[in-house]
Structure 1
Amino acid sequence: MRIGVVFPQTELGSDAGAVRAYGQGVEDLGFRHVMAYDHVVGADPAIHQGWKGPYDVRTTFHEPMVMFGYLAAVTSLELVTSIIILPQRQTALVAKQAAEVDLLTAGRFRLGVGLGWNAVEYEALGQDFATRGRRIEEQVGLLRRLWTEQTVTFHGEYDRINGAGLAPLPVQRPIPVWFGGESPPAYRRAGRLADGWFPQMSPGPKLQEAKAMVDEAAARAGRDPSALGMEGRLNWRGDPDEAADLARQWREAGATHIAVNTMKAGLGSVDEHLAALRSAAETLGLRRD
């Protein structure tokens, strides 16, 4: 089971120097990958009365693809979007950005995608919130074609390409696409289309139920359910025994990856996050190269 970390976007977002220190620090501790959340804009609660989203206009977020270009130059970590809100972005541009990150990392990149929940953000980016589920299915197929074919002609419901393609193509052909989401349609979509998925719950009956839906959808699509990756989340709160037990549960549940998350743990600086991750690394038995 490969063990990585969640970049604490909301707590280090305005400190550019912290990006380098964090990336190099977690690599030195023996973690294998960094995953990053994605939001382009936040809603202003003063304008959007009754706003209840977990993030707003004051919440800091680095743009994942740009940040990954920087991290690719200063670390050898695998870089993971978890998740890029794909339907609010231009498909060909995402394909180009992902191909570039894949090249800069020598193939150490996973593109995690999902639908998102913020209609305000979709409006700001000029996309239709209501059709995001249908659009993402079309987009994933088109992404894979753009990453593997020199020239593409595609006339879909949402995208049109006439004899065009990316150059250079990525190292991974195609780049692995992992899905987020926490609903039965999202689980079935992951089973049909994804290379892996990010459960949004802890091990237990709800995870078993979700995994069964993923596996059933994969089998119905003629795919091997055991070939799909699964990345769990381990929220570090300073209790080594709790963390070790949760990692064990994820392993027994079939997780291929887990990510240690130190967001919302009361940590205010990159040094504090790295100190917490040092404890987590020791608990999880990571080895420094």
Structure 2
Amino acid sequence: MPETRFGYLLPTRDQTVSGEHAPRRLVEHAVRAEALGYDSVWAGDSPITRQRADPLLVLAAVAQATRRVELGTAVLLPALRHPILLAHQLGTLDRLSGGRVIAGMGAGFPTEATQAQFTALGVDFATRGRRLEESIEAMRLLWSGEAVSFKGEHYAFEDVSIAPPPARPGGPPVWLAGGGPALRRVARIADGWLPYPPEHGVYAEEAGTILETARRPVTPALYATFCLDDDPERAREILRTSIERYYNAPLEFIASIQAMFAGTPEDAAAWLNGYVAAGARHIVVRFATDDHESALEEFAGRVRPLVDGETRS
């Protein structure tokens, strides 16, 4: 069985809700994650609905401060940007980092708050899925470095080239979020899959669907939230505080749609091994805590070895 890889989600949103606004500290977290053996570092995207530092600018700084970790967006909303500009930004970041970018993307979760963000930026929310697909198609053309043309329902251009081209031929791998009906899109156009289903069985079923229908190799990943504490009840309360502050919504609702764990490191590893058995191979970890330094170390020292042990057996 392939080794499980682990990524770390930078707390860009957590900084905003706490009023810290210290992007340099985010870079320090990334450097520490690399030193502890994490395989990737990620940044989320939401300029208005869930405000945070811009993910591509943060990752550009991380690219200069690190040497090994992959740099991912979890996840970027292409429909809010023109594909020529986004292809240029991602291509430059890939070149800057020496080919370490993973372009995690999504259409946008169907909530009133997300719709308001699209409206503020003058983008029809109902078209977000098709815009996502057109953007990916257009960016892959542009990442060739040649002059290309594209004509879609929402974007069109003729004889356009961008420079510098990405470090990797063809550009960064594109990972897509989503489950259910979105699986067809993942199987059709994605290089990776980054969902967060709260149940192992759902993950296994959807991963099987992608494996059977994908047109190219797809990396099965998982976006999961952890709050670690040797006292499970205390962990649950910390998780509640963090999640309700992050989303401005009840924990019970968010936990019904997202993979979340609160409890001891040993139980976290056992829970995570259920996803590994279901097919997950790259775990993007979000920590529900105010102390990311300790969380990074605790997960690396007490959770990951147990998951890796299961993977190697």
User: Which consecutive unaligned segments of at least 5 residues does structure 2 have?
Assistant: 229-263, 309-313
Identity rate of aligned residues, in percent? 32
Change (3 A) 1:242 1:142: same
Which has more helix, going by share of residues? Answer: 2
- Return the alpha-carbon distance in structure 2 between the equivalents of residues 107 and 31 of structure 1: 17
Detail structure 1 runs of 4+ shifted over 4 Å in the superposition. Answer: none
SS for the counterpart of 1:62 is: coil
Q: Which residue is 2:139 aligned to?
A: 143
**What secondary structure, in the 3-state scheme, does the structure 2 residue paired with 1:232 have?**
strand
Q: What are the Cα deviations for residues 108-143 of structure 1, in whole angstroms up to 9, with x where unaligned? A: 010011111311111122211111112212221111
Quote how far apart the aligned CAs of 1:173 are: 2.2
Residue identity matched to 2:7: G
Match of 2:267 among 242, 254, 263: 242
After TM superposition, the structure 1 stretch with the greater mean CA deviation from structure 2, 118-127 or 101-110, is 118-127
1:97 aligns with 2:89: yes
Shift in CA distance, 245/234, structure 1 to aligned 2, threshold 3 Å: farther
Q: CA deviation at 1:251?
A: 2.2
The answer to whether 1:280 aligns with 2:295 is: no
Q: What are structure 1's unaligned runs of at least 5 residues? A: 43-54
Q: Is the 8 A contact 2:11 2:26 kept in 1?
A: no
| Cα pair 1:150 1:167 within 8 Å, conserved | no
- Which of 34, 47, 62 aligns to 1:40? It is 47
Q: Contact 2:5 / 2:282 at 8 angstroms: preserved in 1? A: yes
Q: TM-score, normalised by structure 1?
A: 0.84
- 5-14 or 172-181: bigger deviation: 5-14
Whichever residue aligns with residue 97 of structure 1, its letter is Q
What is the letter of the counterpart of residue 187 of structure 1? L
Paired letter, 2:55: P
1:8 maps to 2:28: no
Match status 1:208 vs 2:204:
yes
Contact 1:89 1:125 in 2 (8 A): no
* 1:231 Cα offset (Å): 1.2
The alignment covers a number of residue pairs equal to 258
**CA positional deviation for 1:208:** 2.2
RMSD after superposition: 1.8
User: Aligned partner of 1:93: which letter?
Assistant: L
| CA shift for structure 1 position 212 | 3.2
Aligned to 1:237, what secondary structure does the other structure show?
A: strand
The offset of 1:273, in angstroms, is: 0.7
